[in-house]
Structure 1
Amino acid sequence: MPYQNSKKIISYISIGLLSFTMALGTQMSEASAKNANKNGNGNGNGNGNGNTTSTPVASTPTPGSTTSTPVASTPTSGTTTSTPVASTPTPVASTTPVLALSPATVVSSTATCSVTNVSLGGTTATDCKGPFQGNDTGNQSTLLSTLNSQNGSGLFDLNVGSNVQWSLAGKSDDGGNSLGFKAANDFNTGSWSLNNPFTINPTSNLSTFVISLKTSTAYSTYLFKEVDFSKTGLKGIFDTIGVALDGSGKNGKDLSHASLFVASYYKPKPPVTKVPEPAVNLSLALLALGGFKILKRKNLETAEN
């Protein structure tokens, strides 16, 4: 009897231990499953939201540190790497800056001479012509020949008449001349002067002359007609603004040199009267004599009848 009771007790204990072991195993399995779910949700969702490099096309960026590049994929949970998809670049209109021209580079070609560009003792020029391209003196110049053109086509013939002979009297860069003519070379405005007055017109005892202002590649001419040096003096001023303009378009270029041309008046030759030739006179005399004889004969015949 005691032996049987011992067997029963052992059986009960074994059954209890088995039940406890099975229950403990079940609880451990459930605990492992719960831990696995927690780790999966934490790493997948947390890392996916925090560390994923999002590259959607035409979509709202995912919160966090995202860099948008054109891809055709949707980001998945967890750490993902997007594969770039080839796309056609959008042309961007380039803007090239255009530099505005500096006022200093603007060149004006509207220089026109004025009688006020040159004066003598406060008396302005009578007339002016120019500007002309080229040189006013030298072998290549045509100014002197233009002044002396015949048949009323001279440069200032309308002012002074055609019975004038022009000649070059001096230049401001020739080192000296008989009239002491000089001017402030290398300046666009300045003074000019004479040392000696001159009288050309023997009738009026007045002087007519032309001053030419020459810059780098052009010149203008200024006529002074019948000047009385006793009233004007021998000093004047000039401005090359009527010859050529500098880069600013507001001032004349520097003077290269000035030239003085003086006029000499001469009396026009009297018209030539044609004298009949001797042979013509003899023919006329014979003709008159023949006519006289014929008339005398007719008179005699009339008297006899």
Structure 2
Amino acid sequence: MKRIRVSVEGRSDVATDVVKLSLRKPDGNDLPAFTPGSHIDLYLPNGLVRQYSLLGDGRQTSRYEIAVSKAHAGRGGSRCVHADLRCGAMVDIGEPRNNFALRPGQDAFQFVAGGIGITPILSMIRHCASKGWDWRLLYLARTRAHAAFQDELRALGADRVRFHFDDEARALFDFAGPAFVVDAGVPIYCCGPTPVMNAVDKFSKDHPENPAFFEWFSPPAESVANGVTTDFRVRLDRSGRILVVPQGKSILQVLEESGYDVPCSCREGMCRTCETTVIEGVPDHRDYVLSREEREAGRSLMLCVSRAKSDLLVLDL
């Protein structure tokens, strides 16, 4: 995968434990264009690779902007950003990818953001504003201090942006109550912590006229395997080699143990880096990026998490 060297041109605090970084090529040339909802891989000094959403609407490519919330119980990625990526630091990024794109043919949107989930949503809002499309935002945060980009969002109008702060309301937002109303036919785009995502998903299922689309930053804590996990075989179409994938190991792990160097990043079915074409067989999808239509088609899978419903998978490897 192509890596791009950038420098940290600017850094600012935009909320409690949330830092915004501006990234630019050292030679001043433009970065690749992107679409709203896109993210980049960030190759951190401590060896970790993490994915962060781009804040722009795609028109500004002289620099990228990302915002990173410090996860105190995380695995070290966000802490490294906060501690080490100061102005002038050099770092590698990947080219933009979009697993959370606005669907074509829509010009009205309901956005729901929880905490740092505002980052891909802000990109979408900026794009909608530039197009003159109709949109509404519900922004949830623990406190006002934890809600990033408040000034910009408030300037867009109280008729469009609604805030909910748990500490002031003394309760979580109730998506099942009368406070959350979405016009029929308007899709919902949601990014935030698992409870918010689950509540929006339930609302959408109860209101099928409001399809919901999600950007997951991490697998749901309560997620479980889809179906029974058993051994299965994988045939690599280009060499004809057959590998056995046992219980407790992913296809990706088996490939790596067999000497294959496969592009990967999150290892959790979150980023689409290891997506691979399925030539034959029925995959058991366990990722968080494929759409319902893509799952039903069964033409690709994520090597890091997907398994098989058939005894054999033939992959384009």
TM bracket (short chain):
under 0.3
Structure (1 or 2) with the greater helix fraction = 1
Structure (1 or 2) with the greater strand fraction = 2
TM (norm. structure 1) is 0.20
Greater gyration radius: 1
Greater RCO (Cα-Cα under 8 Å, separation 6 or more):
1
